[in-house]
Amino acid sequence: MKPFSLKLKPAFLCLLAAALFISCSEDDSVTTATPFVVAFENLSANISDIETSKTLSLVYSETATVQGSFEVSIVSTNAIYGVDFTTEPAAEGSTITLPIEASENGKSIVFNKLNPTLDETVTIELNISAIHYPSSVIQGNTRFLFGNTPALGTGYSPNVGGPNQQNQVYIDLSSEAETVVQRDTWDLGFYAGDEFRVGINGAIYMATAQLESTDIDAISEADVTDLQPQVAVGTFDPDNVAYIDHPDGAITKTAIASISATEAENKVYLVNLGYTVGTDAPEPGSVAVAGSARGWKKIRVLRQGDDYLLQYANLNDTTHEEVVISKNEGYNFTFFSFDTENVVTAEPRADQWDLNFTVFTNIIDGAGSYGFSDGVLHNSKGGVTAYSVETTAFDYDTFSASDVVLNNFEQDQRVIGSTWRDVINDDKVLIDTIFYILKDANGNLYKLKFTSLLNENGERGFPEFKYNLLQ
């Protein structure tokens, strides 16, 4: 659970505003006050994912100006308050009473799980049952459900990191879990599936080219000087797509060929290490994702039984380092960093994320590989698929599971990609005529719509979206 913030998130406010009914008189001299609403920030949680406790945030539709209170009732099935769970503040009977203080924007309730064996028959429902405050109404996100089902949905603000976009943010929709990793943490990803494939880090614009030699120690910078300018992202040469992993995410389309069991078939590769994360502060609406060039390596990858054997060195080295890298069961890849010269953790388990907010290397038709910011990739290797829907055909709020077209789901991890925003022109625009349907590896269906591209200062790197489970 992310820390409670007194700042009301635009993504959440979109959910709240949809539920508010604000009447206006035809007579301009008569006005109706905006109602005061208390709402749960999220809609649900899977009780199996909670180890000991979970904090539930409740937010107000406006900053409180006077004192008051509100009540949250508890209805549970196959779970007993005080035996299987408790809350802070404590309930009296089946009701939690929370004070409303002047100048505050919300409250929180801590749910304590006392019984670790709560099963799929358990549901615990919290409902906002009364609000004692001027002009208050009960509407919007008034219900929070604990059960053994995927999360129903929420508003989300991934911690991308602002205009430098230094983070890769992995989000699991069913558990509302977020994993944040700096995008230059890793260089190579060694595939854990049946194929023997090695990926490069497109989030820092890496590129690689196969050489003719199989002797890594015999290669020097003099051998690749003419090739180096070509092995890069953003050269506007259509042929440079050969030096990147295909951005659709297909494991069979890595720039490094399949690692052969026949040692003599595995060639040496020239590797452009891309760029460090940028640190400059750009003008509002711009990004500064690329810092200093990280230089070059030469590598060769072999198979050693069911493992990989990585050989690597600087270009002019006449000896090389070796490291055995095992396939990481349950993950898409095992990651390796040349900075630490070690295996590193850079991605959650394959079944524990659906979306990756990241800078990524894409392809522009006729211009080759190019770096894209504000990217959103779905976990195609982990079984997630997606497709887009135009709002001219369907309204997001009324779109339901019966509207889903199963044949429309795509493997291509760029279904969302950069299609949710337009940053080519001076006016950076959130495209609000599109939303997306995702199916996770467990078959859960979600609808997702972006609600913000820039922050209040006009800076990029602050995306926000809302999503809902389709039932």
Residues 226 and 339 in one domain: yes
Residues 367 and 327 in one domain: no
CATH of the domain at 24: 2.60.40.2030
pLDDT tens profile 285-312: 999 999 999 999 999 999 999 999 999 9
Q: Is residue 259 part of a domain?
A: yes
Q: Tell me the C-alpha distance between 326 and 307, whole Å.
A: 5
Task: Give the closest residue to 107 by CA, choosing from 63, 73, 76, 46.
Answer: 63
CB 12 within 8 A of CB 463: no
> What's residue 33's pLDDT?
57
The sheet carrying 167-172 orders its strands as 177-182, 167-172, 355-364, 368-378
Residues 54 and 74 in one domain: yes
What spatial distance separates the first Cα and last Cα of the chain, rounded to whole Å?
Answer: 24
Any idea what DSSP says for residue 410? B
Q: Is residue 205 part of a domain?
A: yes
Q: Is residue 140 part of a domain?
A: yes
Q: Is residue 4 part of a domain?
A: no
> What's residue 194's pLDDT?
96
Task: Give the closest residue to 222 by CA, choosing from 289, 315, 286, 301.
Answer: 315
3-state secondary structure of 44: strand
3-state secondary structure 68-129: EEEEEEEEEECCCECCCEEEECCCECCEEEEEECCCCCEEEEEEEECCCCCCCCCEEEEEEE
Q: Is residue 36 part of a domain?
A: yes
Q: Is residue 1 part of a domain?
A: no
Q: Is residue 5 part of a domain?
A: no
Residue type, 316: N
Residues 408 and 449 in one domain: yes
> What's residue 1's pLDDT?
30
Name the E strands within 148-283. 153-156, 167-172, 177-182, 188-191, 198-200, 207-210, 269-272, 275-277
Residues 228 and 100 in one domain: no
Residues 192 and 337 in one domain: yes
pLDDT tens profile 136-173: 999 878 989 898 777 777 778 899 999 999 999 999 99
Domain containing residue 115: 10-148
Residues 364 and 431 in one domain: yes
Residues 199 and 286 in one domain: yes
What does the pLDDT profile of the chain (471 residues) look like in tens digits? 333 233 334 444 444 443 333 333 233 333 345 799 999 888 888 888 888 999 999 999 999 999 999 999 999 999 999 999 999 999 999 999 999 999 999 999 999 999 998 888 899 999 999 999 999 999 878 989 898 777 777 778 899 999 999 999 999 998 888 999 999 999 999 999 999 999 999 999 999 999 999 999 999 999 999 999 999 999 999 999 999 999 999 999 999 999 999 999 999 999 999 999 999 999 999 999 999 999 999 999 999 999 999 999 999 999 999 999 999 999 999 999 999 999 999 999 999 999 999 999 999 999 999 999 999 999 999 999 999 999 999 999 999 999 999 999 999 999 999 999 998 877 789 999 999 999 999 999 999 999 999 998 999 999 999 999 997
Residues 210 and 270 in one domain: yes
Q: Is residue 3 part of a domain?
A: no
Residues 192 and 339 in one domain: yes
Residues 53 and 81 in one domain: yes
What is the tally of structural domains in the chain?
3
> What's residue 141's pLDDT?
81
Residue type, 373: S
Name the CA radius of gyration of the chain, rounded.
26
Residues 339 and 202 in one domain: yes
pLDDT tens profile 424-450: 877 789 999 999 999 999 999 999 999
User: Which of 295, 328, 343 corresponds to the end of one domain?
Assistant: 343
